[in-house]
Amino acid sequence: MIQTPYLLFLGDAPDQLAAKVAQGIKDWRPDNAVGQFRMAGCGADVKLQDMTLQEGLDAGAKTLVVGVANRGGVISAAWKEVLVQALQMGYDIASGLHNLLRDEKELMAAARVNGRTLFDVRIPSVAYPIANGKKRTGKRCLAIGTDCSVGKMYTGLAMDIEMQKRGMKSTFRPTGQTGILITGGGVPLDAVIADFMAGAVEYLTPDNDADHWDHIEGQGSLFHVSYSGVTMALIHGGQPDALILAHEPTRTHMRGLPEYDLPSLEALRDMALPIARIANPACQVVGISVNTQHLSEEEALSYMAEVEKRMGLPTVDTFRQGAARRVDALDAI
Amino acid sequence: MIQTPYLLFLGDAPDQLAAKVAQGIKDWRPDNAVGQFRMAGCGADVKLQDMTLQEGLDAGAKTLVVGVANRGGVISAAWKEVLVQALQMGYDIASGLHNLLRDEKELMAAARVNGRTLFDVRIPSVAYPIANGKKRTGKRCLAIGTDCSVGKMYTGLAMDIEMQKRGMKSTFRPTGQTGILITGGGVPLDAVIADFMAGAVEYLTPDNDADHWDHIEGQGSLFHVSYSGVTMALIHGGQPDALILAHEPTRTHMRGLPEYDLPSLEALRDMALPIARIANPACQVVGISVNTQHLSEEEALSYMAEVEKRMGLPTVDTFRQGAARRVDALDAI
């Protein structure tokens, strides 16, 4: 686990979009961040207090989290100067960049000399077991998409927060680097060796109280030929009790695959349920999460009403309407 | 690609079963092996000419293939002495052992000094791309199982040989270490990073002549929760035109998963076809391959007749009856 709280490193981010990870931490785990560290020319602002490294330490920060995408696939000299200084002052550093911290000699040397840890959260740090398929105690919910990048992480995080508010037992279980940095731990599933994918998901979602819900972060799509194997392992390793179907209704083709149409929600349901019931015969589809960011309010409400009637399942856009109705559905299981 | 022909290293194999890889090479690619090298106390014999390392070289061998499982998870000093000598004499070495050749300092040193190559075929040697899902020319056949280890490799190899005999264009495409050593190349799919699995299968089965068949070696099972993600990637990366259902009728539960029953052939067909048609809408199930090694001849024939009638598909045990009827079915596509 990455130690919290964090100081969020925004560096010289060109714009707000580049600071997606920092924004996610601020939105979903505000208690995990004491402030933000910005360099000259930084065009991002996640509306946390600006702090120097020393002020971050004084506020209790344990880890400097790289909350920003870098440019041109290199960790610049200007960044490195700050990161080395942070290690010297006692910070660990965590990053989800494709360029690994551990591949930078100066950072490795400074970490070693100062006894600090570099977390490259894209790379697994655990030798995961092969899945054994044994039934685990506790309940699990997984969002599966008609396509990639349709709001599955957002859906899971929102349901977790809603359950916490109600005093229910729940944990968000990240399977990608952004989710891992938001919560401080998880499994970077797309970087796991094929034979150990399902075992990694079992490891991530162990036995728990009978009334505890794991919200497992979804990845890929059964219908996305590049990543469907990862989705399959999530379903069989996660042995979910409940599936949420996630959809973005304005996509004209599968993400990155111009030759592939999106499936209907019915097709997704009909393919996913028999697959999920291999690992958990009681699995049900309990709701639909629609990402309507490209629709007007009126279009969105009308679309969701139509889907809800057609599918007979609570259908909401988490961003517009919150996760309450889906949590009601889970609570009824 | 591993250079052929091979000299097959049987070492001090305790029994015939330990020499499964060497036996596979002898059975399926006899032209790939000039002879066998056995040490004192070797209990295996694949009925090739016994040769010294020098005799192997004189017969044209380029690579010494470790065709045997080792004991106790170590490469013994006695083995290493032979392997180092082989490198000094000009052999490359190929191995599918869990212990990697490259982790042995003496072997690495000898390979470097003598300009030879160590092939650890369990480990990918290529940075595979992410799958792009584009339709490729040529035809592809994939065997998928109700369970793991039901004869999928055997099925693919036999169909390839049968096609070659008929003068048809075909290639066996290995996805596991035994198949890779038999043919000299392939993708060790279970060791590929999750995100690149389907891309590795695309890489393995590129564009080809319109009348060329790839026989892709199957792995795992859609119904085996430990490995189903690998099977999924094979189906979506391989975009098969034809599926063969593979089954072992005496299994009492899924391999290694005592809590899991085997699916019926109907259940496998009904799950696999919609999945396969995402990548290739023309995909058909063309035949059934039954491993009847644990049935008597009479039981086997009666079982297969019943399945053939029930499923309406040519149903054969490759070992008893050959691959001709399945090749007829492919040839009709």
- Return the pLDDT at B333: 87
Q: How confident is the model at residue A80 (pLDDT cuts 50, 70, 90)?
A: very high
Percent of chain A scoring above 70 in pLDDT: 100
Task: Report whether A238 contacts A164 (CB < 8 A).
Answer: no
And the tokens for B303? 């079982």
CA distance B300 to B113: 55
| pTM given for the model | 0.94
DSSP letter for A282, please.
T
Please tell me the predicted confidence (pLDDT) of residue A70.
78
Q: Does B189 sit within 8 Å of A190, measured CB to CB?
A: no
Report chain B residues whose CB lies below 8 A from the CB of A236: 225-226, 228-229
Residue type, A23: Q
ipTM confidence: 0.93
How many CB atoms within 10 Å of residue B314?
Answer: 19
DSSP element (H, E) containing B247: strand B242-247
Which among B223, B228, B279 has the least Cβ separation from residue A225? B279
Distance from CA of B43 to the nearest CA of A (A): 32
What mean pLDDT value characterizes chain A? 96
Is there a contact between B194 and A193 if contact means CB atoms under 8 Å apart?
Answer: yes
- Which residues have C-beta within 8 Å of that of residue A7, sequence separation ≥ 6? A33, A34, A35, A36, A37, A51, A53, A56, A59, A61, A63, A64, A65, A91
pLDDT at B311 over 80: yes
Residue of A nearest to B220 (CA): A195
Q: Which residues of B touch A260 (CB under 8 A)?
A: 133, 278
Contact present, B105 and B83 (Cβ < 8 Å) = no
Interface test with A, best of B228, B234, B260, B261 (most A CBs within 10 A): B228
Whether A3 has a pLDDT exceeding 80, the answer reads yes
Nearest beta carbon to residue B226 from set A133, A190, A222: A133
Q: How far is the alpha carbon of A267 from chain B, nearest alpha carbon, in Å?
A: 9
The predicted pLDDT at position B227 comes to 97
pLDDT tens figures, A256-289: 999 999 999 999 999 999 999 999 999 999 999 9
Q: Give the residue-averaged pLDDT of B238-254.
A: 97
Task: State how far the Cα of B29 lies from the Cα of B302, in Å rounded to an integer.
Answer: 32
Rounded to the nearest angstrom, the minimum Cα separation between A258 and chain B is 9
Tell whether the model's pLDDT for residue B253 goes beyond 80.
Answer: yes
Query: Distance between CA B199 and CA B192 in Å, rounded?
Result: 10
Please answer whether residues A185 and A121 qualify as being in contact, where contact means their C-beta atoms are separated by less than 8 angstroms.
no
User: How many Å apart are CA A212 and CA A292, to the nearest integer?
Assistant: 30
Question: Could you give the CA distance from residue A176 to residue A56 in angstroms, rounded to a whole number?
Answer: 26
Cβ <8 Å between B278 and A259:
no
List residues in chain A touching B: CB distance below 8 A: 130-135, 189-195, 197-199, 222-223, 225-233, 236-237, 239, 254, 256-257, 259-260, 263, 270-271, 274-275, 278-279
| B131:A225 CB<8 A | yes
Task: Tell me the pLDDT tens digit for each residue of B317-327.
Answer: 999 999 999 99
Q: Which of B131, B222, B225 sits opposite A226 (nearest CB)?
A: B131
Q: What is the pLDDT of residue A238?
A: 98
3 state DSSP class of B289: strand
Q: Which are the contacts of A73, defined by CB distance < 8 A and separation ≥ 6?
A: A98, A99
d(CA B251, CA B240): 27
Confidence of residue B216 (pLDDT cuts 50, 70, 90): very high
Residue B105 and residue B187: Cα distance in Å, rounded? 26
What does the buried/exposed string (b/e) look like for B36-67 if buried means 16 or more CB atoms within 10 Å of the residue's CB? bbbeeebebebebeebebeebbeeebbbbbbb
pLDDT digits (tens, 9 = 90+) for A160-204: 999 999 999 999 999 999 999 999 999 999 999 999 999 999 999
The pLDDT of residue B204: 98
Among residues A51, A53, A69, which one has the least CA distance to residue A14? A69
Q: How confident is the model at residue B214 (pLDDT cuts 50, 70, 90)?
A: very high
**pLDDT at residue B122 is higher than 90:** yes
- B155's tokens: 């099925």
Would the CA dihedral through A163, A165, A169, A170 be positive or negative?
positive
Looking at beta carbons, which residues of chain B come within 8 Å of A263? 278
Residue with the larger pLDDT of the pair A110 and B71: A110
Least confident segment among B61-75, B121-135, B263-277: B61-75
Q: How confident is the model at residue B71 (pLDDT cuts 50, 70, 90)?
A: confident
Name the residue among B133, B228, B254 with its Cβ closest to that of A232: B228
How much of chain A, in percent, has pLDDT values that exceed 90? 95
Tens digit of each residue's pLDDT (9 = 90 or more) over A91-103 = 999 999 989 999 9
Strands B169-173, B139-145: pairing is unpaired
Chain B residues close to A222, C-beta within 8 Å: 232, 275
Query: What are the pLDDT digits (tens) for B38-50?
Result: 999 999 999 999 9
Q: Minimal CA–CA distance to A44: which of A78, A14, A8?
A: A14
pLDDT in tens, B164-200: 999 999 999 999 999 999 999 999 999 999 999 999 9
pLDDT reported for residue B96: 92
Residue B74 has what pLDDT?
82
Rounded to whole angstroms, the Cα distance separating A125 from A54 reads: 29
What pLDDT is stored for residue B225 in this prediction?
98
Cβ contact B230:B197 at 8 Å = yes
Residue B328, Cβ neighbours under 10 Å: how many? 14
